Structure 1
Amino acid sequence: MILNEHKGRTVSNKLLKINELYLDNYRAFEDFTIKFDEKLTVLVATNGKGKTAILDAIAVAFGTFVNATGLANGKAFSRTDVLQFTPRNTLVKTVEEKYPLTLRAKGNIDSHDVSWMREIKNPKARTSINNTKPLINYGTKIRELVTQNNDNALPLISYYGTGRLWAQKRATKSKKLSETSRLSGYIDCLDSLSNYKAFKSWYEYICKSELEMKIEAIEKESINPPHNEFEDIRKALQEAVNEVIPNNSGWHDIVYRQKAKAIIMDHSEHGELPVTQLSDGIRSMIGLVADIAYRTIKLNPHLNNAPKETSGIILIDEIDMHLHPKWQQTVLPDMMKAFPKMQFIVSTHSPQVLSTVRKEQIRILEDNRVFTPSSSSLGEDSSVLLSEIMDISSFPPLEIVSKREEYQDLVEDRAYDTNHAKSLRKELIDNYGETNTFIFQMDMLIHKFESMKKVGK
């Protein structure tokens, strides 16, 4: 168990983790098992092969824990999650559901190795909670600790789906009444939409309170003003956002400005702008990082740097969404630097993302199976990963690409002097230019064959 010291006590790094997930009769999965790395797991598959389904299933796996904390709603299975099939040898085509839908999980709950299960047994049944006692007990324990004013560290679980960009959700009455509680850090945590509206309201309060404390100290001409905890919170959140956003955008130091009545960021060339005016990619990442940081601070306001000290599980669907390829090459390392104690489970379509990940942390999903790549991925060329891991040619399926391949075959067969080969070469030069690397490589190969011809080989 990895431990951190805090105020004379130890804070476990394994308060909430998932190590293994088994699914049967769930969407497209039958008798399926996947294991997760303790720090980072990256899911790779073509569309419709189950990346989002696995993230959804993890959210359901922890649904009873979130429910038990008291203020938030967990997730359960729906009827649409049940595997559907068409029976063979029937005169009339029918679609049937296959039961029971079963989920089994293994992980660490409150620093203990545990396993649990959720299922739907039949069409009339609801998602079971009977076999999730360790999660319910831990959620209940957390609720009791908070009501007793105990400052034990609380773990975070949070899910961010592809619809997360600038989600604006209307808070319910119960959410508004509970927004000051530590446990409000769990509200909507499994919703898959980052609630920027909730973050904005909270951060506005933090920045205003910090300023009010400073003004009060000045007015009282205090020699030793009281410690400004709101400033600590603002700096901790800024630090988390600055770990991820500035490197590829230049925007930094997120703060609320009373004059603009908006959350703004600063840029050395563009000055200050409201976050709402920035690009989709930047806004998406700010919303994601700020939401995680906001939740860690809500759950653990007593920690010196909650984003860096809070442990838990972060689920992100399509981590590369809206990001420039250059940013895709740094997003995971930066996120793990901003939240070093979190277990990240993410999906991606990007070879640039995969080039920053060890092969042992990649899970390729294909036809109800899961496997890790046989070749290295960390630091590898993106075009190689596109081919070897994602099984996609780095060249698009265009006619000019077919002609390129045909010309290469002719050169390698030493038929480069034929009229057809010369015609293909001219067409390729017209498209790529005479200084293109491929043309140069083919010319070098022709030169090699011509030299061999002169010496009689």
Structure 2
Amino acid sequence: MFSQDNKFFLRILTFKYYPSSTGENALAYIFAYIHDAINYRTKNKDILIFIDEIDSALHPRWQQTILWYLLEYLNSFEDYHFQIVFTTHSPIILSDLTDNRIIRLKRDKNKIKIFTKENQTFGANIMRLYYDDFFMDNGGIGEFVKKKIKQVVDYLNGKDNNISLTEVQYIIDHIGEPTVKRQLKQKLNELVSNKEQTLIELIQEIGVQEAIERLQKRK
């Protein structure tokens, strides 16, 4: 925390209240440091506040309220003027800010560059902000499940034999996106139906015992 006379105030504050979560501690430290600086460390009325990753360790519900409570708290100091600069990786925090108050940074090889977006952030849909402002170019799901779904698709298209039918069924049954789940289940039902029909035709042609032996050899 800095003031216009270029003094830097930092004091290690220790809290001893239990039980407390990491998020509760993060909130306590933010407000405690500000309170400490204003009341005990400076007489300057113009204060610049820096907060690194204001959303760190905060539950999404707390991310929705942190700026509101922070501004309410600072507004209680009527004779002071504050400017707050903070970093965040949270689209929830971003949705509380107008786009003219946001500086977006992006790593380009070994350099950090400022980039601009045309979209307005204030009150914007949080999921849209994820895609527009947080480089979610590879979709909105984790890399692990993405690879698993691709493996299922390859299996259904006859391109992957390294996964069992049981695992394919398990993965499809637990997919949370209804459209993807429905399409994969339909494809699976068609595949199983075709295999059952092929097995019936094979049994009719060569008999049960020989059909079983052929299937065992394929494994």
Normalising by structure 2, what TM-score?
Answer: 0.59
Q: Secondary structure at the match of 2:86?
A: strand
Q: Distance in 1 between matches of 2:182 and 2:49?
A: 46
Distance (whole Å) between structure 2 residues aligned to residue 64 and residue 384 of structure 1: 38
Asked if residue 438 in structure 1 is aligned to residue 160 in structure 2, the reply is no
* 1:385 Cα deviation after fit: 1.9
Query: Per-residue displacement from partner, 1:195-253 (whole Å, max 9, x unpaired)?
Result: 315xxxxxxxxxxxxxxxxxxxxxxxxxxxxxxxxxxxxxxxxxxxxxxxxxxxxxxxx
Contiguous gaps of at least 5 residues in structure 1: 1-58, 67-73, 75-187, 198-262, 264-273, 301-309, 411-417, 447-457
Say which of 172, 178, 198 aligns to 1:429. Answer: 172
The structural deviation recorded for 1:278 is 2.0
Residue 109 (structure 2) pairs with residue 363 (structure 1): no
- Which residue of structure 2 aligns with residue 287 of structure 1? 29
Question: Are residue 333 (structure 1) and residue 77 (structure 2) matched?
Answer: no
The structure having more radius of gyration, on CA atoms, is: 2
Maintained 8 Å contact 2:173/2:181: no
- Relative contact order, higher structure (CA 8 A, sep 6+): 1
Alignment counterpart, residue 343 of structure 1, candidates 63, 79, 83: 83
The answer to whether residue 124 in structure 2 is matched with residue 389 in structure 1 is no
Residue type at the aligned position of 1:420: N
CA distance in 1, matches of 2:131, 2:36: 39
CA-to-partner distance for each residue in 1:412-448, whole Å, 9 max, x for gaps? xxxxxx9539x79845423326xx43346759xx9xx
Across the two proteins, how many residue pairs are aligned to each other? 166
Tell whether the 8 Å contact from 1:316 to 1:345 is kept in structure 2 after alignment.
yes
Report the CA distance between 1:384 and its aligned residue: 2.4
What's 1:379 paired with? 123
| 1:338 to 1:438, Cα distance in 2 relative to 1, 3 A | farther
Gaps of 5+ in 2: 76-80, 159-164, 188-219
CA distance in 1: counterparts of 2:23 and 2:94, whole angstroms: 19
Change (3 A) 1:317 1:430: same
Partner of 1:401 in structure 2? 146
Q: Percent identity?
A: 22
Contact 1:336 1:342 in 2 (8 A): no
> Which residue of 2 is the match for residue 195 of structure 1?
12
| 3-state SS of paired residue (2:118) | coil
Provide TM-score, normalisation by structure 1. 0.31
Structure 1 segments (4+ residues) deviating >6 Å? 405-408
Matched AA of 2:38: T
* 1:378 aligned partner, one-letter code: F
SS of alignment partner, residue 50 of structure 2:
strand
Query: Cα deviation per residue 1:329-360 (whole Å; 9 max; x = unaligned)?
Result: 22122212211442110011222222222222
- Output one character per residue of 1:102-126: Cα deviation in whole Å (capped at 9) or x when no partner: xxxxxxxxxxxxxxxxxxxxxxxxx
1:83 aligned residue: none
Partner of 1:84: none
What RMSD over aligned residues (CA atoms) do the two structures have, in Å? Answer: 3.7
1:278/1:380 CA distance change after superposition, 3 Å: same
For 2:150 and 2:88, how far apart are their aligned partners in 1?
29
Cα 1:395/1:401, change in 2 over 3 Å? same
Paired with 1:275 and 1:345, the residues of 2 have a C-alpha distance of 29
Structure with the larger helix share: 2
